[in-house]
Amino acid sequence: MTDATTTETRKFEAEVAQVLHLVTHSLYSHKEIFLRELISNASDACDKLRFEAIAKPELLSGAGELHIDVSWDKDARTITIADTGIGMSRDEVVANIGSIASSGTRRFLEALGSEQKADARLIGQFGVGFYSAFVVADRVTVLTRRAGDAPDAGVKWESDGRGEYTLESATLDQRGTTVVLHLKADEDEFLDGWKLRALVRKYSDHVAFPIRMPKEAAAAGEDEEKTDEAPQWETANDASALWTRPKSEITDEEYQNFYKSLGHDFNDAAAWSHNRVEGSQSFTTLLYLPSQPPFDLMMGGRDERKGLKLYIKRVFIMDAAEELLPNYLRFVRGVVDADDLPLNVSREILQHNRQLERIRGACVKRVLDLVEKLSRDEPDTFAAFIKAFGNTLKEGIVEDHANRERIAKLLRFASTRGEGEAQTVSLDDYVGRMAEGQDAIWYVTADGYRAAAGSPQLEAFRARGIEVLLMSDRIDEWMLGHLREYAGKPLRHVAKGELPLDEAEKAKQAEASQAAAPLLERIKGLLGERVEDVRVSARLTDSPACLALSEYEMAPHLARLLREAGQDVPGGKPVLEVNPRHPLLQRLLGEHDDARAADLAHLLLEQAELAAGAPLPDPAAFVQRMNRLLAG
């Protein structure tokens, strides 16, 4: 326990100091965001107190209702944001604003560390919003007292943001936190009632607690000399919980503003869904699809505090994205307000709560409905959405069996019918134009669009006019392992198994194999241990060779990635397919020099491996072989 009477100077933790350096030197546009971030912290503090007061109502005694006051002082050149929320003890101040409060700090540094000039609006996304105070202030004073503590247990924290802060004890007659910003020399524009009021309305209108500002004297200027009278306060924001209002009374702009502060995002949401369910169990959901992915979306992690907020009868209970949505919908932002859950619910209880399961089911349904609606009615927005979040959605194929078909319907893939990577198709498009007698949905996987589109295995499909989906995201292979069929049609890799040949083609293929028997034997002999088998390919028309995969074999590019990542991937020997009509194979057949024949055979295998994204076991030997043949 710290001795609360001492005054001390402490150093910020190294990473906080870095954040502060970045904040003061690089954040240049939208500086006004500091106000939203500090009000957001004040609002969080009020939420926390209201929640704690469920079990300990006495915490609310004293400072009356929960509210946030914003004021300014032209002479002192300060802006003050004061709340009557939970407050902080001395130890909490040190832990929360002197050291790393969240893993967001490191991510913030990674994301912005190299930027010379960054947009200040980014800061809230990383859970380091408090430090935005130093965008406009060169000194910040925090006076705080935790609810329930004695008046003399208050704390005064102060810093110029340059590496150190001071802590001293203070006697404060109210609980809660007051943040005083001593503005930098050129930030006087914020010392203006109109300006501040406009910012509150713009960024914090929806905050569910009253944000009060001093009533301005009728004629500014004349009446400006100070009186001892306490200022008269008026509420500057809407101060109602947006989701509790009827849909018909909420404008799009209000929905968008609410989204922005909820998700600490500065882009508009792509779409939202606002619903009230009445009945044996009543609850309200307001769910948003962002238009841009947050920084951490694909880093696997999910920031608990930026997903879904759970309220019970309008009291904020906790950030409960994990309890309310499966991981593959982690990009959804919003609010769930349940009427019938017990207020003293804990995270442990939530995880096994029947009612919550029902709400979770409803949230998933709403989100999928919303994405479907977007795909039907707003093709451009949908295209942008799926580009940003399609890969995350693919995780749902693995994670959410019950909705697999619905999710699959929403996905979009590049295809041999599209021109380029951007022109994607749905599985329904594909199935709708399947050829007579075509009994499978064909795809190829590779580690890039061009590698997929250039796969030699596609040649036979092109020749037959059969469309092939081109999969080139890392997640595709994993997803396809779980998406065995769609609309009753099996999904098949072009390199795997038998091709769909008609009787005449089969006869031709058998004939070709027979005719090529001596060639195949020769190649097998030359390649020896490097191959499992050598066959005549039905897949090739122009290329000399390709690899074939067995039914459950992992695509070579993926096996390579996993091995590089240190995983143990069982690897068999490849099956080489060749095209006997190709001049290279003709040449191999007629080659009398055994050494040259061996070079040719190895190059056939190695080019097939390269095209499939497999690693060459001996790149130097490959280069020597190639040069010998080129020179010869």
The contact set with ligand ADP (CB under 6 A) reads 37, 41-42, 44-45, 83, 85-88, 96-97, 101-102, 127-130, 177
The site partner of 486 among ligand ADP, Mg ion, none (C-beta below 5 to 8 Å per kind) is none
- Distance of closest approach, residue 210 Cβ to ligand ADP, in angstroms: 15
- Distance of closest approach, residue 397 Cβ to ligand ADP, in angstroms: 32
Residues 128-167 that bind Mg ion (CB under 5 A): 129
The site partner of 442 among Mg ion, ligand ADP, none (C-beta below 5 to 8 Å per kind) is none
| Closest CB to ligand ADP among residues 32, 609 | 32
The site partner of 382 among Mg ion, ligand ADP, none (C-beta below 5 to 8 Å per kind) is none
The site partner of 96 among Mg ion, ligand ADP, none (C-beta below 5 to 8 Å per kind) is ligand ADP
| Closest CB to ligand ADP among residues 24, 41 | 41
Q: By C-alpha distance, which of 379, 360, 413 is closest to 270?
A: 379
Alpha-carbon span 382 to 109, nearest angstrom: 32
Residues 32-91 that bind Mg ion (CB under 5 A): 41
Residue closest to Mg ion, measured at CB: 129
DSSP for 336-396 reads EEESSS-TT--HHHHHT-HHHHHHHHHHHHHHHHHHHHHHHH-HHHHHHHHHHHHHHHHHH
Length of the chain: 632
Alpha-carbon span 361 to 368, nearest angstrom: 11
- Distance of closest approach, residue 177 Cβ to ligand ADP, in angstroms: 4
- Distance of closest approach, residue 15 Cβ to ligand ADP, in angstroms: 13
Query: What's the sign of the alpha-carbon dihedral 510, 511, 512, 515?
Result: positive
Alpha-carbon span 465 to 435, nearest angstrom: 8
* Secondary element (H or E) of residue 311: strand 308-312
- Distance of closest approach, residue 187 Cβ to Mg ion, in angstroms: 20
| Closest CB to ligand ADP among residues 97, 345 | 97
| Closest CB to ligand ADP among residues 87, 334 | 87
Identify residue 431 by its one-letter amino acid code: V
| Closest CB to Mg ion among residues 126, 413 | 126
The site partner of 169 among Mg ion, ligand ADP, none (C-beta below 5 to 8 Å per kind) is none
- Distance of closest approach, residue 96 Cβ to Mg ion, in angstroms: 10
| Closest CB to ligand ADP among residues 294, 326 | 294
| Closest CB to ligand ADP among residues 306, 539 | 306
| Closest CB to ligand ADP among residues 96, 141 | 96
Alpha-carbon span 27 to 382, nearest angstrom: 32
For residue 216, give the DSSP letter.
Answer: P
At 201, phi and psi to the nearest 5?
Answer: -65, -40
| Closest CB to Mg ion among residues 123, 335 | 123
- Distance of closest approach, residue 129 Cβ to Mg ion, in angstroms: 3
The site partner of 42 among ligand ADP, Mg ion, none (C-beta below 5 to 8 Å per kind) is ligand ADP
- Distance of closest approach, residue 2 Cβ to ligand ADP, in angstroms: 17
Query: What's the sign of the alpha-carbon dihedral 349, 354, 356, 360?
Result: positive
- Distance of closest approach, residue 199 Cβ to ligand ADP, in angstroms: 17
The site partner of 128 among ligand ADP, Mg ion, none (C-beta below 5 to 8 Å per kind) is ligand ADP
- Site size toward Mg ion, by CB under 5 A: 2
- Distance of closest approach, residue 38 Cβ to Mg ion, in angstroms: 8
Q: By C-alpha distance, which of 203, 366, 406, 394 is closest to 272?
A: 366
Alpha-carbon span 466 to 444, nearest angstrom: 13
At 167 the three-state DSSP class reads strand
CA distances from 55 to 208, 347, 355, 588 (A): 21, 16, 22, 84
| Closest CB to ligand ADP among residues 63, 600 | 63
Question: In the numeric block, which tokens belong to residue 528?
Answer: 């020896």
At 250 the three-state DSSP class reads coil
Task: Give strand ranges (E) for 513-606.
Answer: 533-536, 545-548, 575-578
Mask for 104-133, x = binds Mg ion (CB under 5 A): -------------------------x----
The site partner of 177 among ligand ADP, Mg ion, none (C-beta below 5 to 8 Å per kind) is ligand ADP
The site partner of 88 among Mg ion, ligand ADP, none (C-beta below 5 to 8 Å per kind) is ligand ADP
- Distance of closest approach, residue 533 Cβ to ligand ADP, in angstroms: 59
Residue 173 has a CB neighbour count (10 Å cut-off) of 9
Alpha-carbon span 17 to 90, nearest angstrom: 20
- Distance of closest approach, residue 53 Cβ to Mg ion, in angstroms: 21
The site partner of 537 among Mg ion, ligand ADP, none (C-beta below 5 to 8 Å per kind) is none
The site partner of 520 among Mg ion, ligand ADP, none (C-beta below 5 to 8 Å per kind) is none
At 128 the three-state DSSP class reads coil
At 317 the three-state DSSP class reads strand
CA 328, chain centre distance (Å): 10
The site partner of 456 among Mg ion, ligand ADP, none (C-beta below 5 to 8 Å per kind) is none
- Distance of closest approach, residue 101 Cβ to Mg ion, in angstroms: 9
| Closest CB to Mg ion among residues 37, 447 | 37
| Closest CB to ligand ADP among residues 34, 190 | 34
| Closest CB to ligand ADP among residues 301, 490 | 301
Q: By C-alpha distance, which of 421, 512, 517 is closest to 471?
A: 421
At 278, phi and psi to the nearest 5?
Answer: -110, 150
At 435 the three-state DSSP class reads coil
Rg, Å, the chain Cα set: 32
Burial class (CB within 10 angstroms; exposed 0-12, middle 13-18, buried 19+) of 42: buried
The site partner of 85 among Mg ion, ligand ADP, none (C-beta below 5 to 8 Å per kind) is ligand ADP
| Closest CB to Mg ion among residues 262, 410 | 262
At 443, phi and psi to the nearest 5?
Answer: -145, 165
Alpha-carbon span 543 to 584, nearest angstrom: 10
The site partner of 109 among ligand ADP, Mg ion, none (C-beta below 5 to 8 Å per kind) is none
The site partner of 45 among ligand ADP, Mg ion, none (C-beta below 5 to 8 Å per kind) is ligand ADP
Burial class (CB within 10 angstroms; exposed 0-12, middle 13-18, buried 19+) of 449: middle
Residue 186 has a CB neighbour count (10 Å cut-off) of 7
- Distance of closest approach, residue 41 Cβ to Mg ion, in angstroms: 4
Alpha-carbon span 133 to 66, nearest angstrom: 23
Alpha-carbon span 39 to 36, nearest angstrom: 5
| Closest CB to ligand ADP among residues 38, 371 | 38
- Distance of closest approach, residue 180 Cβ to ligand ADP, in angstroms: 12
Q: By C-alpha distance, which of 466, 297, 490 is closest to 394?
A: 297
By CB under 5 A, name the binding residues for Mg ion.
41, 129
